[in-house]
Amino acid sequence: MLVAVAFLPMDASAQTFAAVVLLALLWICRVAADGEHQNTFRLLVLVIGGFITLRYLAWRGTYTIHAADTLSLIAVLLLFGAEIYSSAIHFLGGLVNVTPLRRPLLSLALMPRDMSIPTVDVMIPSYNEDPELLEVTLRAARMMNYPQGRFRVHLLDDGGTDDKISHPNPDVAAKARERRTELKALCARLGVNYIARAHNERAKAGNINHALQLTNADLVVILDADHVPTVEFLDRTVPWFMRHDDVFLVQTPHFMVNPDPIDRNLLHSFSRMPSENDMFYRVVQRGLDFWGASFFCGSAAVLRRRHLDEVGGLCGDTITEDAETALALHSKGYRSIYIDRPMVAGLAPETFTGFVTQRMRWAQGMTQILLIKRPFMAPGLNAFQRIGYLSSILFWLFPFARVIFLTAPLAYLIFGMEVYHASIAQIIAYTLPHVIATYIIADLLFGRTRWPLISELYEVMQCLFSLVAVFKVIINPRAPSFVVTPKGATLESTTVSPLAWPFYVLFALILVGCAGGLYRWEAYPLTRDMTTVVMLWNLFNLVTVLAALGALLERQQRRATPRIPVSETGVLRDAHGRTSSCTIEDLSASGAGLAIADETEPVFHGGERLTLSTFSPAMGRTLELPVVVRSAESLGGRVMLGTQFDLTEPHHGDEAVALSYGDSARWLFFQERRSRPIPFAKALGIMLRLVWKPLFMHVAVLSRRLGEGFTASARSGRAPAPP
């Protein structure tokens, strides 16, 4: 019925009036959705906002799709296609997230005493990660609260396979041998089972499936090498399997303890702004869970072995084995559970290259699922599960739409192609309300987990690379191979990402578009209205690309293990027994940043050995950790001490890990603190403030690089002349 009304014809002036009334209602409902009867008002926002978008599409499709020539028609259709895609994602998003589900927190302690506690295999697949990083994960896995003897930790080392050891390249073979020896020793030291296979077949899925053949516990926990679990991980997840036989998966969020490269390089808002993946893990997965479609995300999850065995272990037809496996098991009628409590802390890729590598894999894998597994017609799924999977998968086709939105204004401003046939009155009547309605709905659904304009930035940053990657999959769906996301990388100095050049081209094109727009504005007075609108669109793209350029300036990163911002109290004691209370400002498994009052006695110096006493909720007791002062600096009336844990005693290693990673309440607090909405104007202001400085820094870095090039060539030119 709404569709029929959306297609009812009415002139722009009347449509403007209707749109104003609808937007006013939408706004009222949006405000009311935060109060009582929020479910009803939430629905009203979605329906009215969706109707405004539907009305826009009806108008676009009915009246504006025409062109003077074939080329323009192609451009017109591409733009409309991109809008249809975006709206489809918008509608699917609205449907999926109409009422996100919050599961109750269960615990083994709440289970009937006579109920048998299942055995668990904790599997940590690894490929090329540093042993130091693995050690933290392994220690944390060992320390999970679960009945002794009921779980075992396995390190699945794909970097030390027989294939690698006997690699034709002697350097590669030597490194693999060295890695296997080192990791075996580490596992032996920590009481972890080391598993290496003969061949590197089917990447991560093959690695886990190999381990499944060697183990036999009821449940399987998958943790990525950098995913450090808190002590309560098993306690909170396993009860779901005990209560429901048909549950094949309990998935928990991936909580990132370091900013992703866009945040790190540009936004600098790690502790103030919701993380990029918060939207997915805090809203979308819960929304999917309501419809029984939350899926496996590759790590931080527990799976039932019996169900896995039914589908031959983890599926490996695509490079996103996680979603593929979940799809296969959902198709068999089994259920998934999503628990919105961060109990695993991981690392985001540090560099933009790593970030793009990760996202290209996801985009390719999801496209593979779309093409090979066809979830929209997979047997065994109900309609809502199909919609859920379709929503999750189609999202990854965003590069098509995003590239079109970036280039469409250029088609008009540079080439004069009319890709959007509308008068200003019609833009006010249809386009503007659609944009506002979309914003209000996004604010309702994701306002606390995704700030305005941030999605655009992340999509712009990925679109150029993902577009090519997705195209490759479309051409040959089985071609992509699994590429491990590099983590824990360091950067000695600030540099420009090697992936920056497409953005330079895009930036230059948009600047040309601006110049073209100014020319058109001057030369074609009759089309000034339209030129102004397209210029504004192009300027928006310019700001986004400028921001992208800022994020492409890879900032210096010397610390391989990120420090997590915390605010806890402790006591420092020196060799003479003198104590001083301190605040722990940041923390990692290898050290902590401490703050003490400036005038406090005693005064600590660099290299001094101290003992840090602090309470660990994970261990349930006060820990005594030996630390070495690495730096001391007065700052704002306080002395900031950079300390490193002295982990020569094995139990200190466990305690440091428990202190830094063991408590999920800390992650929850951290997550809640930064989950806050901001208005669009503020987001725009932040973006505008941020984008200019990196531009100049780009120039400076490139100039420096150019200068170094000149110097190098000058030096080579001063080579001694032959006698």
Partner 1 sequence: MPRTQLLHLFRLALFAFFVGGAVSAAEAAESSQREMRLSRFSTTQGPVRLTDVSSSVDLFVPVSPLASMKDAAIEIRFSHSIALQERRSYLLVRLNDISLAQVPFDPKQPVASARIRLPDDLWRSGFNKLTLAVIQHYIDNCEDGNAPELWTELKLHESNLEFSLDTDERPLTLRDIAGVFAPGLGGSERALLMTSSETEADAVVADALPLLAQALALRRQFAPLQFDYARWPAQANDTALGGISYLPPEFAGKPHVLVGTFEQLGAILPGMLPEAVTGPHLSINRSESISDAQGSVIVPSSVRIIVSGRNATEVKEAAAALAAMDDPLNPIAETNILAQTLTPETLAPYHARVLHSGQAYTFAAMGLATRRFQGFGGHGAQLRIMMPPDYYTHDSAQAELFIDFGYGAGMGPGSVINFKLNGDFIHGRLLDDPHGTSFRGYRIVLPARRLMPGPNLLDIDLMLRPETVIGECAGIDGRHLTAQILGSSRLVLPEFGAVATQPNLDLFGTTAFPYLATTREQRATLIAGSESEVGSALTLIGKLAQVASTAHDAWHLKVGLPDGSIEGSAVVVASAAQLPDDLFDAWSIAIGRSVRWPYQALNDVREAQATPERSILDMLIRHFRSDSATPNRVPVLRGSVTQSAGLGPLGALTAFRNPRSSTAATLTLITAADADLVQARVADLVKPELWSQVDGDLMVWENVDDPVFTLRVANTFETGSQDPWLLLRLVLSNSPWYWLGAALAAALLIVITARALLNRRRRRLEDRAGRAPADA
Catalytic site positions = 158, 322
Q: Kindly state the smallest distance separating residue 44's Cβ from partner 1, in Å.
A: 5
Residue partners of 167: CB distance under 8 A and separation at least 6 = 173, 176
Scanning 82-90, 249-257, 418-426, 620-628 for contacts with partner 1 by CB under 8 A, the matching segment is 418-426
Residue partners of 719: CB distance under 8 A and separation at least 6 = none
Angle between helix 501-523 and helix 454-475 axes, rounded to 10 deg: 110
Strand order in the sheet with 301-304: 193-195, 151-157, 120-126, 219-222, 301-304, 247-251, 335-338
Return the number of the residue (16 or 616) whose C-beta is nearest partner 1: 16
Backbone angles phi, psi at 108, to 5 degrees: -60, -30
Nearest 5°: CA angle at 308, between 306 and 314?
160
339 counts as binding partner 1 under rule CB under 8 A: no
Pick one of 155, 165, 242, 514: the residue that binds partner 1 (CB under 8 A): 242
- d(CA 204, CA 211) in angstroms, rounded, equals 11
Pick one of 31, 34, 39, 483: the residue that binds partner 1 (CB under 8 A): 39
Return the number of the residue (227 or 520) whose C-beta is nearest partner 1: 520
Length of the chain: 723
Return the number of the residue (369 or 436) whose C-beta is nearest partner 1: 436
Cis peptide upstream of residue 602 (ω within 30 degrees of 0):
yes
Q: Are 555 and 700 in contact (CB under 8 A)?
A: no
Report strand pairing: 638-645 vs 591-597.
antiparallel
318 counts as binding partner 1 under rule CB under 8 A: no
List the x/- string, 278-297, binding to partner 1 by CB under 8 A: ------------x-------
Q: Per CB under 8 A, which of residues 424..463 are in contact with partner 1?
A: 425-426
List the x/- string, 15-34, binding to partner 1 by CB under 8 A: xxxx-xxx-xx---------
Q: What SS3 class is residue 392?
A: helix
Scanning 101-109, 129-137, 509-517, 641-649 for contacts with partner 1 by CB under 8 A, the matching segment is 101-109
Pick one of 31, 34, 66, 522: the residue that binds partner 1 (CB under 8 A): 66
Q: Kindly state the smallest distance separating residue 4's Cβ from partner 1, in Å.
A: 8
Q: Per CB under 8 A, which of residues 79..98 are in contact with partner 1?
A: 98
- d(CA 574, CA 610) in angstroms, rounded, equals 5
DSSP state of 526: G
Scanning 59-67, 79-87, 618-626, 703-711 for contacts with partner 1 by CB under 8 A, the matching segment is 59-67
Give the total of residues touching partner 1 (CB under 8 A).
Answer: 52
Q: Kindly state the smallest distance separating residue 639's Cβ from partner 1, in Å.
A: 51
38 counts as binding partner 1 under rule CB under 8 A: no
- d(CA 49, CA 110) in angstroms, rounded, equals 43
Q: Are 259 and 170 in contact (CB under 8 A)?
A: no
Q: Are 212 and 301 in contact (CB under 8 A)?
A: no
Residue 359: Cβ-neighbour burial (10 angstroms; 0-12, 13-18, 19+): buried
71 counts as binding partner 1 under rule CB under 8 A: no
Q: How many CA atoms lie within 13 A of 533 on its CB side?
A: 18
Q: Kindly state the smallest distance separating residue 13's Cβ from partner 1, in Å.
A: 7
714 counts as binding partner 1 under rule CB under 8 A: no
Residue 475: Cβ-neighbour burial (10 angstroms; 0-12, 13-18, 19+): exposed
207 counts as binding partner 1 under rule CB under 8 A: no
103 counts as binding partner 1 under rule CB under 8 A: yes
Q: Per CB under 8 A, which of residues 506..545 are in contact with partner 1?
A: 526
Pick one of 28, 32, 38, 47: the residue that binds partner 1 (CB under 8 A): 47
What would the two tokens of residue 213 be?
A: 């053949």
Return the number of the residue (72 or 318) whose C-beta is nearest partner 1: 72
Pick one of 177, 184, 421, 472: the residue that binds partner 1 (CB under 8 A): 421
The separation between CA 459 and the C-alpha centre of its own chain, rounded to angstroms, equals 12
Return the number of the residue (530 or 566) whose C-beta is nearest partner 1: 530
> Interface residues with partner 1 (CB under 8 A)?
1-2, 5-6, 8-18, 20-22, 24-25, 39-40, 43-44, 47-48, 51, 59, 62-64, 66, 68, 98-99, 101, 103-104, 115, 242-246, 290, 418, 421-423, 425-426, 526
